[in-house]
Structure 1
């Protein structure tokens, strides 16, 4: 269907008639500026030519049509499409991703190739972001300090792009888990009440920052923020050195005790991801633990149509102006 965004503009439709009716030219302007002694003789001559002919009625009709089209364009006609369903859950879901130097350890396999931890996280978490239709998503990146990369938004595409553009060491080489939680609490404090979730992914222990993780967890619990923690990194990895190959534990710095306590204090849960498959399973489980709600809202797309009547009005006005100049 079609509707007008500014229907009150139609009140100016009678404006040309009002101007012609009540704003007549001054009497002095209608008098001849020059007296011609043989004026009487000129008036007695037969009148010929276009200027002497009565203006055709269709010219007047075109002028009225041009004005009407101009008013219609000013009223902003719009075409309303069919209602489109949009799911809105009201949940505020923040992702906090570790960018410390240890995230560059290549102990994950993704699509048959060996990749670092951050690359695997970007791939799996990116798919998780795409599935969170209706949630407001935010992104925190942390290293030596925690930084808000994306405030809460429904724009999942932008959040995923910002995650994909993150680089190891961008926020420093150390790990400030407590600062990341504190920043999430700060950003959530002013948001409307509702279900608030933080998914924190790290491969180490808290080695930087001004806030201790457990203190930040206590504050999060008071503010109603639920924290799900994910510890990433393989338990065993084969490395080569001068003496040959040996097996090492690349996740020996992972503080699982603290990560578990962070989740338990806030009513969340701790997960362990040793490979990309387990990481994908964890995000699938998070979809089940925090399902996307089915609250539905509808909106109708609007397409502007003002340029059609505006183009016709300008065309008619230009043609009438040229015709008047030729008379």
Structure 2
């Protein structure tokens, strides 16, 4: 009966302390309730009745009724909580991802592109209240998915990203400009681009700094991430006869100065991911930096449960009264 029950006035439970006191009082005073008669012999009286021994049940019924009344006074009730959240500050995010052949380098495991997709998928799951879009670029760029609140669409599009979907190269300016174009008409209070690359700008007809200035004009912050180890990495250098890549150790070349400049110009931040753990830490930090303000409303509905206890007390008192005036009438 008390499962999932709370009490509005639990202080009334202190009255339960009176019950043991009443029991002690009854134990010492019970013999005074019945008149005594001294006789020399009881051979002429029937002595098989058990009713005198059951008389304390009347007092027990009163105590149980009193305990039920105390529980009712404590006001047992169930609580139903409904929650509604309201996003007070939405964030639109576009992830611009380099898919050039160098993203198949194996300094991150199993390679840079697969490692990035895994971390990006976790990042998307942690942004349930924001809209997210995807842009991919190499020698050219295109929108993989526009900004949307449907995370299933974004996750499926992320899984489909592979090398070879666009001409090879690294058009950082195009990748950034395409992301800006996706966000320029957004009405969100905060607009963010996460630009990731592992090389230097060597393709495209838009300069990275020009794209960065466009981002500033539309109030878009850009976080830049350079991915790749320091030194040399096992990278694709040619094709084998069967069409697969041939790998060899190649020097890792990343234009960090350019990425730092883009981040500084747009009010973002620059990061360097040299292994899987650092890449995860970078996305965790961006996730913390770009927080969505959420207002939560809780509605409480209480259902009073004291009535059954009042009814129980009434039934116990009724049983005690009926028993007193019937079975035990001759003993009182």
TM-score norm. by structure 2 comes to: 0.58
Matching residue of 2:317: none
Give the Cα separation in 2 of the matches to 1:295 and 1:198: 25
Give the Cα separation in 2 of the matches to 1:100 and 1:239: 15
- Does the C-alpha gap of structure 1 residues 238 and 140 become closer, same or farther in structure 2, counting only changes over 3 Å? closer
1:7-86 matches, within 5 Å, as: 85=85
Give the Cα separation in 2 of the matches to 1:164 and 1:146: 18
Q: CA RMSD in A?
A: 2.5
Deviation at 1:84, TM superposition (A): 5.2
Structure 1 position 282 matched with structure 2 position 282: yes
- Decide which structure has the larger Cα Rg and report it: 2
Structure 1 position 131 matched with structure 2 position 118: no
Give 5+ residue unaligned stretches, structure 1.
Answer: 1-81, 110-114, 241-246, 299-327
Q: Is the 8 A contact 1:87 1:297 kept in 2?
A: no
Q: Is the 8 A contact 2:105 2:234 kept in 1?
A: no
Give the Cα separation in 2 of the matches to 1:274 and 1:138: 25
**Could you say what secondary structure the match of 1:196 adopts?**
strand
Query: How many aligned residue pairs are there?
Result: 207
Matching residue of 2:209: 214
Give 5+ residue unaligned stretches, structure 2.
Answer: 1-81, 236-247, 299-332
Deviation at 1:190, TM superposition (A): 1.7
Q: Is the 8 A contact 1:137 1:152 kept in 2?
A: yes
- Residue among 221, 224, 230 paired with 2:219: 224
Q: Deviations over 1:182-221 (max 9, x none)?
A: 1122221222152000000100111111100011101111
Matching residue of 1:107: 107
Q: Is the 8 A contact 2:232 2:252 kept in 1?
A: no
Give the Cα separation in 2 of the matches to 1:85 and 1:211: 42
- Does the C-alpha gap of structure 1 residues 295 and 144 become closer, same or farther in structure 2, counting only changes over 3 Å? farther
- Does the C-alpha gap of structure 1 residues 167 and 83 become closer, same or farther in structure 2, counting only changes over 3 Å? same
Deviation at 1:169, TM superposition (A): 2.3
